[in-house]
Amino acid sequence: MKKFLTVALLLVLISVLSACAGAAAPATEGSDAAPAGDEMTFVGTPRRETLILDNLGGTLERPDFFNPYAPGVDMGRGFHEVCLDNLWEINTTTGEQFPSLAAEMPKALNEEYTSFEVKLREGIYWDDGVEFTADDVVYTLQLGLTNDKLPIHGWSIDYLKDVRAVDKYTVVIDTNRSQPRFSKDLGATIWDATRFWPVPKHIWENQDPTTFVAFPPTCIAQYKYSKHDPNGNWTLWELREDWERTAVGMVAGKPGPKYLLWNFVGTEEKRILAMINNDVDILQDITPESMEVLNNRSDTVRAWHAGFPYADFDDPCERGIAFNNSQFPYDQWQVRWALALATDIKNVSLGTFAGMLRVSPLAVPPVAAVQNAYHKPLVERLLAMELPDGYKPFDPTFATAMAEIFNEQGVGGDLPTTEAELIDLFGVGWWKYDVDQAAKLLEEVGFTRNAEGKWLLPDGTPWSIAINAPVDFEVQSGRLAFAVADSWSKFGVDASVNTMTGGSFWNASSTGEYQAGSYWPGCAIGPDIYPNVSFWHQKFIVETGQPAPGNQHRHKSDELARILDELEKVTSDDPRNVELSKDLLMQMALEMHWIPMFGTSKFVPVNETYFTNYPTADNYYEGPWWWWSNFKYIVAQIEPKQ
Amino acid sequence: MAVVRFLAVRLMVYVLVVWIGVTIIFFVPRFVPGNPVEVMMGKLLSQGTTMDPVLVESMRKTLTELFGLEGTLWEQYSSFLSRVILTQDFGPSLSYYPTPVSMLVARALPWSLGLLLTALLTSWLLGNLIGLLAGYYNKKNLSKLIETGAMIVYPIPYYILALLLVILFAYIWPIFPFVFQVSGTPGSWPWLQSVAYNSFLPLVSIVAVSLGWWIISMKAMVIDTKEEDFVQYARSRGVSDHKIMLGYVARTAILPQITVLALSIGGVFGGALITEILFGYPGVGSLIYKAILGSDYNLMLGTISISIVAVATATLVLDLIYPFIDPRIRYK
């Protein structure tokens, strides 16, 4: 609370002082006004030709390091966004992959899905003028196979059997096991690929890949490295003169601004001031309070939605509360369900991000493509779903109820009016807030209440829950933990929040040494959710205390394992894929595997002073994922203001 | 002979302090839940990237090997000690693998020293001078005004004050840079100018918050000292007011301030975290912070060991030179 008040105080301070500045300075130009043409950036490039992005990674300690296979590399600041490229990239509106460096999607050469032909685009060049060929792909895959010091080595020898160039633009890859989702394994899905980024053989072949600095980077996407701050605050990229000889040039047909500058300004307060001052065009992630300051102080800044609720709700990971399901009392479904029904989800939403959240009862995020494939079609099954005592827990009224709250608060003027549109915005619904049913479930398994109404474990000792939450990163999860703890406390559970730094937070998740945690294990971007849920298989469960390779929540379920085994065998485009996935999600909900709550809301404001045609809710050609590898395709659409 | 014995004992204590400090820094992070491998894996997984369990397990194994985290704690400790003593090598940073810790520290330390030493000496000299005048002439209205001003500024949280400076002098009246952007060839005159220009606001912010303390403390000591018998005696002998202030009062009152200064110089090697983050200033503070967040054992050892050595050295030097600045102290 003290920290929140401090932040609020600072934001008020900024608001007041920036208002003073506004009074003293010339009025901010309206969004239709053209910017001055002769301004230069601090790196010496014309401002109107330089798109300036907030550097999410902060100050870099090693800004001249560009080896994507070294564990300590920073893939951001433009490196994976506009310098590297993937065989297959992701379209974030559909969640489907499309060929980028590859000429087409991979072709399976046998029915077992153990051999694939990958055709490369012809005429793609590295920025040093050398052509990108099958030799580069083969060389890069061989790196993982032959270098046991590379983190990718273990996966490579497990996955790859043989890699060979058939001709200059064709590679054949054999795998050790059936891999019906081959393109997902080697291409981008969420954020980027994680196993394979082609590197130039002619640059790398005489280097030690574990320590090679790769500076300056040799780029294959439409931008090339220009210069960077030795102190790590900024990196400048310049459009290649031969951008037409890149995958983006061929697919999109246009490149994007001449210069891209990733710049770290400092703390959130300074980042906001920089945007008000038109010194940054794209901010990567801010709090709702900061968004309000921007709305009040700038006519040229806008969020994903032009009006309330501003945020983009389509981040591909959802937040909720997870447990170590192998530990008492969370190994009992009644306890997990009781906690879900004791969660006042509307208040939790308001307490977390002022209600600017989309709710999700399923274990995959409610991003548009996923919501259309699963959440909406499953509403009937959710309504019919019964707990063993016949109780129907689903409540489909969340969206309309939130709209009523916002209208009462006087902030709902920008909201849609139809129920269908409200569901698109706030989600299909969640579980009922029913403390009586929650109490009934707990009493079934021996819990009792003392005279003060506090819950006691079956052995009569007080029941307390510590919810792990990240401190100083992932603000939404941190706030969610406090809001949920408040809800559970009102129900009579002694709930508290245990704020942790990244090291402790992730270690607890991996080893299972925690009771509850505000984590975000449910990720997906399109209808093919298997790559994102396969790790829930019970075969990956290890003892609490040991680092888990998957199934960090140690949830054991024969039924889920059976469905996952079936899903593993079907391809992405097989109609059974979605049907089996629906069964999986319903089963996870019934078992209350973990308690999914909200998709992630991202306040990703853009400044329209110098550039236009950013993706927005009303110009939805891509999601606002400035820090993903597919940004190279987004930036191609961003245009200088005339 | 007594001096030699004193020096020998003092040096032994010095070595012991450094060894105990470094040993604590080696073990404490390893007893805290979380390790650099899990941080790195968590960072990848938290982005929603698709990582199947085979990949997770293989990466975990390879990183554990690469980071030298295999073997018992004792094996890791003895390997670390021999490496540091024989080669002064703290190994690679685990968060920024394979970058050597020495490279990261060598890049950050000059910035921290340049800023913080300048700030410390400026505020120390200025604060003590003002404190001396305000204390010696404490009945004057200006003295009361200075003390009131110092007491108002002193308790303001550093972050608020620094942010206020940024808003006032980099945003509303933009005469200083909003972000730290040094240009020019390192070592050249334009580069030095750029460093001075970019460092001015960070410097002022640190001086502003520390100045109050030096003023208040010096003033209090001067008020006490000027009533001491030896000062009264000098005054009764007709020694000039100017000489009493500088030669009697200031020389006595400054002694505790020198002790605090020496210890503060040791602390300079720890950097200034909030300043570095707010102004985007490169330095050791943010390096230590990132090392802690990333459970980067080697980087923690590298950066904090320097602070330990610096503080221990400052204390040692202070002990050795104190007799020269305070004639009442003698080695016995």
Q: What is the pLDDT of residues A30-55, one digit of tens each?
A: 334 445 568 999 999 999 999 999 99
- Interface contact flag, A62 B278, Cβ < 8 Å: no
> Residue A412 has what DSSP assignment?
G
> What's the pLDDT band for A106 if we cut at 50, 70, 90?
very high
B59 has pLDDT over 90: no
Chain segment B61-71, per-residue pLDDT in tens: 888 888 888 88
Whole-angstrom Cα distance, residue B162 to residue B281?
13
- Interface contact flag, B62 A267, Cβ < 8 Å: no
**Is the Cβ of B30 closer than 8 Å to some Cβ of chain A?**
no
Rounded to a whole number of angstroms, the distance from the CA of A435 to the nearest CA of chain B is: 32
Query: Across the strands, what pairs with A323?
Result: A516
- Predicted confidence at residue B332, as pLDDT, reads 55
CB-CB neighbors (< 8 A) of B42 in chain A: 502, 505-507, 509-510
CB-CB neighbors (< 8 A) of A478 in chain B: none
Task: Judge contact between A471 and A588, C-beta under 8 A.
Answer: no
- Any idea what the Cα angle at residue B23 is, between residues B72 and B76, rounded to 5°? 20
Q: Which residue of A has its CA nearest to B281?
A: A231
Range in A421-425, A544-548, A551-555, A611-615 with the lowest mean pLDDT? A544-548
Q: Which residue of B has its CA nearest to A501?
A: B293
A407 has pLDDT over 80: yes
- Predicted confidence at residue B63, as pLDDT, reads 85
**Is the Cβ of B53 closer than 8 Å to some Cβ of chain A?**
yes
Whole-angstrom Cα distance, residue A634 to residue A615?
8
> Can you list the pairs that A130-135 forms with residues at least 24 positions away whose Cβ atoms lie under 8 Å?
A130/A200, A130/A202, A132/A101, A132/A198, A132/A200, A132/A220, A133/A165, A133/A168, A133/A169, A134/A165, A134/A166, A134/A167, A134/A168, A134/A169, A134/A170, A134/A171, A135/A165, A135/A168, A135/A201
> What's the pLDDT band for B51 if we cut at 50, 70, 90?
low
CB-CB neighbors (< 8 A) of B58 in chain A: 151-155, 158
When computed from its CA atoms, the radius of gyration of chain A, rounded to whole angstroms, is: 25
When computed from its CA atoms, the radius of gyration of chain B, rounded to whole angstroms, is: 25
Please count the other Cβ atoms lying within 10 Å of the Cβ belonging to residue B73: 11
Among B residues 118-147, those touching chain A with beta carbons less than 8 Å apart = none
- What average pLDDT does range A382-409 have in this prediction? 97
DSSP H helices in chain B: 2-31, 36-46, 53-66, 73-87, 101-136, 141-153, 158-166, 189-225, 229-236, 241-243, 251-268, 273-279, 284-293, 297-325
- What average pLDDT does range A583-604 have in this prediction? 96
| Nearest alpha-carbon partner for B40 in A478, A232, A70, A520 | A70
ipTM above 0.90, yes or no: no
Q: Which residue of A has its CA nearest to B280?
A: A266
- Phi-psi region at B136: left, alpha or beta (left = phi > 0; alpha = psi -120 to 50): alpha
In angstroms, how far is CA B228 from the centroid of its own chain?
35
Q: Which residue of A has its CA nearest to B160?
A: A10
Whether a cis peptide bond, with omega within 30° of 0, leads into B155 is no
**Largest separation between any pair of C-alpha atoms in chain A:** 79
- Interface contact flag, B167 A540, Cβ < 8 Å: no
- Predicted confidence at residue A1, as pLDDT, reads 43
Query: Across the strands, what pairs with A174?
Result: A115, A162
- Predicted confidence at residue B47, as pLDDT, reads 63
H or E element: which one contains A165? strand A160-167
Q: Which residue of B has its CA nearest to A550?
A: B53
CB nearest A72 (choices: B98, B164, B182): B98
Which of the pair, A332 or B326, is modelled with greater confidence?
A332
- Interface contact flag, A59 B282, Cβ < 8 Å: yes
Rounded to a whole number of angstroms, the distance from the CA of A151 to the nearest CA of chain B is: 5
| Burial group, residue A590, by CB count within 10 angstroms (0-12, 13-18, 19+) | middle
Mean pLDDT, chain B, rounded, equals: 88
Whole-angstrom Cα distance, residue B272 to residue B158?
11
- Interface contact flag, B178 A263, Cβ < 8 Å: no
To the nearest 10°, report the CA torsion of A97, A99, A104, A110: -50
CB nearest A506 (choices: B39, B186, B292): B39
- Interface contact flag, A535 B163, Cβ < 8 Å: no
Whole-angstrom Cα distance, residue A45 to residue B72?
54
Whole-angstrom Cα distance, residue B280 to residue B303?
19
Whole-angstrom Cα distance, residue B66 to residue B70?
9
User: Of all residues in chain A, what percent carry a pLDDT higher than 70?
Assistant: 94
Please count the other Cβ atoms lying within 10 Å of the Cβ belonging to residue B16: 11
Rounded to a whole number of angstroms, the distance from the CA of A340 to the nearest CA of chain B is: 23
- What average pLDDT does range A277-294 have in this prediction? 92
- What average pLDDT does range A178-194 have in this prediction? 92
Whole-angstrom Cα distance, residue B252 to residue B229?
13
Beta strands A160-167 and A115-119, pairing class: unpaired
A19 has pLDDT over 60: no
CB-CB neighbors (< 8 A) of A14 in chain B: 167
- Interface contact flag, B178 A277, Cβ < 8 Å: yes
The two structure tokens encoding residue A364:
């995959």
Rounded to a whole number of angstroms, the distance from the CA of B97 to the nearest CA of chain A is: 4
- Interface contact flag, A506 B179, Cβ < 8 Å: no
Mutate to test the interface with A, among B50, B274, B286 (most CBs of A within 10 A): B50
- What average pLDDT does range A56-64 have in this prediction? 89
- Predicted confidence at residue B50, as pLDDT, reads 62
Whole-angstrom Cα distance, residue B326 to residue B332?
15
Chain segment B67-124, per-residue pLDDT in tens: 888 888 898 898 888 888 888 788 899 889 889 999 999 999 999 999 999 999 999 9
Whole-angstrom Cα distance, residue A65 to residue A79?
10
- CA distances in angstroms from A482 to A249, A498, B117, B180, B305, listed in the order given: 47, 9, 42, 36, 37
**Is the Cβ of B112 closer than 8 Å to some Cβ of chain A?**
no
CB-CB neighbors (< 8 A) of B52 in chain A: 185, 531, 534-535, 550
- Interface contact flag, A234 B181, Cβ < 8 Å: yes
Q: Which residue of A has its CA nearest to B185?
A: A230
> Residue A596 has what DSSP assignment?
E
Which of the pair, A218 or B64, is modelled with greater confidence?
A218
Whole-angstrom Cα distance, residue B206 to residue B268?
12
Whether a cis peptide bond, with omega within 30° of 0, leads into B98 is yes
Rounded to a whole number of angstroms, the distance from the CA of A573 to the nearest CA of chain B is: 18
- Predicted confidence at residue B181, as pLDDT, reads 85
Q: Identify the sign of the CA torsion A555, A558, A560, A566.
A: positive
- Any idea what the Cα angle at residue A183 is, between residues A525 and A65, rounded to 5°? 85
Chain segment A62-105, per-residue pLDDT in tens: 999 999 999 889 999 999 999 999 999 999 999 999 999 999 99
Beta strands A464-470 and A516-523, pairing class: parallel
Q: Which residue of A has its CA nearest to B96?
A: A72
DSSP per position, A181-231: THHHHHS-SSSS-SS-----HHHHTTS-TTT----S----SSEEEEEE-TT
Counting one residue from chain A and one from chain B, the pairs whose CB atoms sit within 8 A come to: 219
Rounded to a whole number of angstroms, the distance from the CA of B29 to the nearest CA of chain A is: 10
Among B residues 234-253, those touching chain A with beta carbons less than 8 Å apart = none
Beta strands A430-431 and A394-395, pairing class: antiparallel
Rounded to a whole number of angstroms, the distance from the CA of A284 to the nearest CA of chain B is: 14
Whole-angstrom Cα distance, residue A339 to residue A495?
11
**Is the Cβ of B40 closer than 8 Å to some Cβ of chain A?**
yes
B259 has pLDDT over 50: yes
Rounded to a whole number of angstroms, the distance from the CA of B272 to the nearest CA of chain A is: 14
Task: Judge contact between A37 and A268, C-beta under 8 A.
Answer: no
